[in-house]
Structure 1
């Protein structure tokens, strides 16, 4: 589970309507996979889609208690350069998930650590789900291309929630909200 960083989507507050739409799309996708037998969601620690996915799984565990979540960090001291709010959010998530560890026990010192992390994520998961649109490149491009390459030699589905799907989700969500407001008035 990966995707855009929050800043790539111009999201700087948790109450941004874009977060609501992305979380709704992720909830639908993760719930469907859980109902199809997925029992672990493994994601990274990045601000944005990865942390939102962790929050969603933690919430879904209330009704799907067999669902588990792991946050894997690429290296030790990941996020130490972040502001205090972001560091605290990450630490709260890490303390709430079912499993968390780092792929490298050293702090960042080489791009090879990121390649090792990518390889770890590919070889320890059965499929990939990205909130990513190849027509709107960003940081997820590297993970997406690595997953597509890996899938050429392994049975490894690579799934996308792209901007068209997010727009559909937004339309459904705001239609439901308008209907709810109409019924409440």
Structure 2
């Protein structure tokens, strides 16, 4: 795979409300593990839409991995202009930092938010432009990523790679001395 889309839960869907949450180290460790494996197989581009949560965390991991895999690039392709308009200042700063370091930034729709159809259009665009989807999502705990997954499932031979709660539990057990 040369290009993958990455999405997943938003922070509030995981009960994460600040950057220093301990759970983030395990989420990022699993993202790092998956992206490293894909980079070793020739992954060149990671596409995100810049949503808070799994996508921003993915960007942070990609930036770290670029030191070891300089050919790895990050594209932030938003569904519409000014998606961050209603975010708080802290989230806007985090988002601006990601945009500043990204290798490519664009919007699917060159208009501000108008309707949910813009999200559907973004999902379709991502699936048509990539060769697989990596998603932080557990089908037993429904959340916002379900729309991207449903769109991906309509495409034949489009791989969907899940990071589930079991994967995160394994990260905790591997890193936490209590479990050793």
Structure 1 residue 11, shift from structure 2 partner = 0.4
Secondary structure at the residue paired with 1:160?
strand
Structure showing greater relative contact order (alpha-carbon pairs closer than 8 Å, 6 or more residues apart): 2
The equivalent position to 1:173 in structure 2, one of 152, 172, 175, is 175
Displacement of 1:98 after TM fit? 0.4
Match of 2:33 among 19, 28, 51: 28
Unaligned runs of 5+ in 2: 1-5
Give the 5 Å matches for 1:52-131.
Answer: 52-131=57-136
Larger helix fraction of residues: 1
Aligned pair count? 175
* Displacement after TM superposition at 1:178 (Å): 8.5
Larger Cα-atom Rg: 1
Gaps of 5+ in 1: 180-185
Shift of 1:156: 1.3
- SS where residue 63 of structure 1 aligns? coil
CA deviation string 1:140-171 (max 9, x = no partner): 11111111222xx2x21111011111100111
DSSP-derived class of the 1:53 partner: helix
What is the TM-score when the length of structure 2 is the normalising length?
A: 0.94
Spell out structure 1 runs of 4+ moving beyond 6 A.
none
TM-score for the superposition, normalised by structure 1: 0.91
What is the CA RMSD across the aligned residues, in angstroms? 1.3
